[in-house]
Amino acid sequence: MEKVMGLCAGRHAIPVDEYIFTTDLDPLDYDEMYRQAMKVVPEWGTLIVYVTGLTAAMLAVVAACEDKHCVLTAKHYDRESGTYKSQVVLNGFEWA
The model's pLDDT over 30-55, given as tens digits with 9 standing for 90+, comes to 999 999 999 999 999 999 999 988 89
pLDDT of residue 95: 61
Distance between CA atoms of residues 92 and 31, nearest Å: 24
**Residue 61's closest CA among 77, 78, 42, 44?**
42
What value does the mean pLDDT of the chain take?
Answer: 92
74 forms beta bridges with 49, 87
